[in-house]
Each structure stands twice: as structure tokens, then as C-alpha cells.
Amino acid sequence: MSVSGCLETDKVGAAERPGWQVELIEEVIHLLASALDDRELTAATDLYEIECRVQKLFRRLGAVLTAKLAQRAAAGCPRPCCPGCGQLMQVRNQRGRHLVGTTGEFILHRSEYSCRQCGEAVVPADELWQLGREQLTPALQQVLARAGAEIASFERASELVGLILQMDSLTADSTARTTEALGAVAEQQTQQSIAASEQAREAPDDHDPAALTVLIGVDATKVHAGGCWRDAKIAVAVPLGAEPVPCGKHDRLRLPLGQASYCAGIEGADAFFDRLRVLVRQAGWQPGPQAHLLLIGDGGEWIWNRADHLRQRQTEVTEILDLYHAREHVWEVAHALLGTGVAGHQWGEQLCEAMPAKGGAIVLAALAKLRPRTKAQRELLQKATEYFQTNLARMDYPHYAQQGWPLGSGIVESACRLICGLRCKQPGMRWSVGGAQNVLSLRALALSAAGLWHNFWAGHPQTRRPALASLTIPQARHDAA
């Protein structure tokens, strides 16, 4: 069918198509006709080869469509005024910009304006298109950043994106730079939210937040950054449902878990809890007398000593010692004082099974009856007794179970592996501190509750990414050779 025939059968209502649409349709049809004259495309018999060749053809068509539509959008840009002096700016020159995107490679032509009075220069079309400094389009930057943050290495991420989009030009280096740069934007945004949160802490609350219980798990893992192993602190925040549901092999009633949100920081404990305060707000929580936070951890003093960071505006914070870490201490005492045989096994098994129903008091009572025989046993028993005495108020497991709250910190144990282990601790990986933090920040954002990544990208982070020169750590330092 001819181009005119295609247009005649196209239902566009009573109005005729604008001339630019007709020209675009003609260009696409001629491009298709030219592609079908290519014997490599039409003679292919293997379905995989056919699909790959057609997909590459789609990229050629997509490049034409993207460029034409973008140019048309920019045609309506008004003559700008100088941001410095307010005078109307003059066209300095017309310049093409070569871009690589998810739909293909193309050149966009746009006008560059300058101010004769103060020398300011602007490109209105670049601002309209939300372009940053990079050659990659916003859509491709998002794909690369998401893949670089979520897939185990930059090499694998670039290989997978290239396979899906049929792009041969993608490199691990471009994926690494895009991921780290946009991760730097995410981290900068988090720091700005922390500063705003500090101000909000002191401001009076003008609304009555709905009652919401949020479970917070906090732990730390190791990452090799800056030439040594460092603590990467990880937190997960999960809103709990209002009505309990049966869960587990004993059908214990528990409040259902909502969507998890994560944060990670290679930083001190105080700074990390400031980050955590922002995270729980992102999970939907607002401070107030109706709000309730459940802080669950493994007994580390750095966690409990900073629970006050979360107590604001009469917010109730319940500290819960992870049941399974408490059981580990019980077994350590059992094996050291009673041995690994029947006596030690029975003593440890009875206490571990009783703790959910009896709490920590039963453990302290059992420890008081033990009679150590050696100095090492006395020291271990004293250490265990102090541990359970310190955490006794955090071991009210019968009350927690009655409320439908979790008793274990498995949710944060898995978060450490999900956020850090699977991405930053692959064999041979070495990071800079900044590079690791940027990737962790972006990965935590990407894997958090639906909506957080969308909100991040809606702010056009590609226009705020730092210059590539500021990313000084080469690719080989990040991923295994």
C-alpha cells in the first residue's frame, strides 16, 4: 500500500493530519521499505536471529520517532531572558547533540542563547528535555542505574541491558559511572531530608497522624571500602497491619507485614540513626502519641543507646531483643558449662522453648543455679548474666506475641544480605567509601517500597548528577577482575 493509501485508511476523525505527522509517517515507511530490501533481514531463518535483527530495526525507527517528537516539543521554546540581568538573550549558534537512548541513537538540534551584557549562556531545549551533561538519555540512565544497583556487578548489568536493548556499545564503565553518579544524587537527597527532618523535629505538629505501627530492624555488616573492611549499617522499616492473621507452623496470630523500605550507611551510629529517622517517615509513619515504633536488634549497645533518636512528639518506642540472638547466648552457656552432650542439650533446649512464653526472667533464674568450675566458665557466666539483666525489659516475649509483633530480627538479617552482601561483597570487589555509599543508597532506594524510586526519578536526578571527573575510582576497583 502506498503512503497515501496508508493515510486514507488511518482513522483520525474528521480533521486531517498535520503536515509534520505526514512527513514522519512517510519517513518511517521508507525506512521500513529500505530495511525489507536488506537480504540479511529477509533471508534469516533462525527465530533468534530474526528477533534480534527486527529489534535493531525498531531502534532505527525509534531513533527517528524520538528525535522528531523531541524536536517538535522544543520548537515551541520561547526566547529566554537572561537569568542574571533579565535581558532578552540572543541566539549564539545552532548545535547538534548526539544522544544514546533506549530507543536508539540520534542527534537533536537546538539553539544556544547568550547574553551580550553579562555573558550568561543557556540552552532552553536541554532544560525542556531534562538533559544533564551526559550523552545518555534520561530513560537509558534510569535503566543503567537501576541495573547497576540491582545486578551483582557492573559487567553483568551492562551485558544484560545491552542484550535486552540490542545495544553493542554499552560498557561496564558507563554503567558504573551512571550508577555511582545517580547514587550520589540519591545520597545528597537523603542528607537534605535529614537536615529537613532535624528542623521538623523542633517544629510544632499541626495534624493528628493516624495510628501506625512500624517495625524497625537495625544491624551492621562488613564491606571492603577505602582499603579496609568497614561497618555498613543497614536498617529496614516495615509498617504493620492493624488486624492479626495466623502465621507460622503454630498459627500464632501476627500483624501482617507491609512493604519494606531500606537504608544503608557507612557512617557513625548517630549519623545512621538520623538516616533511619528519614526512612521510617518514608514508610508512612508520622511522629505523635498514636504512632508506635518497634525497634528490634541483636543486643548491640550502639542500637539501644540511640533509641531516643526515634522518640519524638510522645512517640512510643518498644525495644525488642531478637529472640534468636538471645537463644544463641543460652546455647553458648549450655555448651561451655554443661557440655555438648545430653545435659547441655536438654538445659539449652528447655530454656529456648520456654522463652517465648516466659520471657527473660526464666533464663536469669536458670543462670543463677549454675555452678561454674573454672575461671573461664565463671567469666562466661557473669557475661551472660549481665547480658540478660541488661536486656530483660527487651525480652517481654509473651506481651510481644500477644500484640502480634515479630520476636525475631530475621527481616534485618536478610536485609543485610539483600542490600549489601549480594551487591557489594561479591568475590574480589573493592570499593572507595564514597562509591560504596552511593551504590548502597541507590540499591536501598531501588529495592524499597513501591513509589520511592518513582518519586526519586520524578525529581529528574539526571540533571543533578555530578561531573564524571569527580568519580575518581576506576571500574576495576569495584568489581572482580
Per-residue pLDDT of 118-142, as tens digits, reads: 889 999 999 999 999 899 999 999 9
CA dist., res. 96 & res. 101, Å (int): 16
Taking 60 as the threshold, does the pLDDT of residue 204 lie above it?
no
- 476: Cβ contacts below 8 Å, ≥ 6 apart: none
Instruction: Let me know if 465 is exposed, middle or buried by CB neighbors in 10 A (0-12, 13-18, 19+).
Output: buried
Cα–Cα nearest to 297, from 223, 210, 236 = 236
Taking 60 as the threshold, does the pLDDT of residue 181 lie above it?
yes
Taking 90 as the threshold, does the pLDDT of residue 480 lie above it?
no
What architecture does CATH give domain 193-322+411-455? 2-Layer Sandwich (3.30)
Q: DSSP letters of 228-254?
A: EEEEEEEEEEEEEPSS-EEETTTTEEE
CA dist., res. 228 & res. 430, Å (int): 9
pLDDT digits (tens, 9 = 90+) for 360-370: 999 999 999 99
The residue-averaged pLDDT of 339-351 equals 94
The residue-averaged pLDDT of 72-78 equals 91
Confidence of residue 282 (pLDDT cuts 50, 70, 90): confident
Q: What is the DSSP letter of 314?
A: T
Confidence of residue 68 (pLDDT cuts 50, 70, 90): very high
Q: Which of 88-92, 117-121, 372-376, 473-477 has the lowest mean pLDDT?
A: 473-477
The residue-averaged pLDDT of 41-62 equals 90
**Angle of CA points 308, 314, 317, to nearest 5°:** 50
Taking 60 as the threshold, does the pLDDT of residue 210 lie above it?
no
Taking 50 as the threshold, does the pLDDT of residue 8 lie above it?
yes
pLDDT digits (tens, 9 = 90+) for 407-440: 988 899 999 999 999 999 999 999 999 999 999 9
The pTM (predicted TM-score) of the whole model is 0.87
Taking 80 as the threshold, does the pLDDT of residue 227 lie above it?
yes
The residue-averaged pLDDT of 85-94 equals 91
In the chain, what are the domain boundaries? 18-129, 193-322+411-455, 324-394
Q: Phi and psi dihedrals of 362, rounded to 5? A: -65, -30
The residue-averaged pLDDT of 168-194 equals 94
CA dist., res. 121 & res. 300, Å (int): 55
The residue-averaged pLDDT of 268-281 equals 92
Amino acid at 121: A
The residue-averaged pLDDT of 234-259 equals 84
The residue-averaged pLDDT of 318-345 equals 95
> 3-class DSSP state for residue 216?
strand
The percentage of the chain sitting over the pLDDT mark of 90, rounded to a whole number, equals 68
- 189: Cβ contacts below 8 Å, ≥ 6 apart: 456, 459, 461
pLDDT digits (tens, 9 = 90+) for 438-470: 999 999 999 998 789 999 999 999 999 987 554
- The CA distances from residue 338 to 14, 49, 328, 332, 434, in Å, are 91, 68, 15, 10, 48
The percentage of the chain sitting over the pLDDT mark of 70, rounded to a whole number, equals 89
Pairing of the two strands 261-265 and 228-240: antiparallel
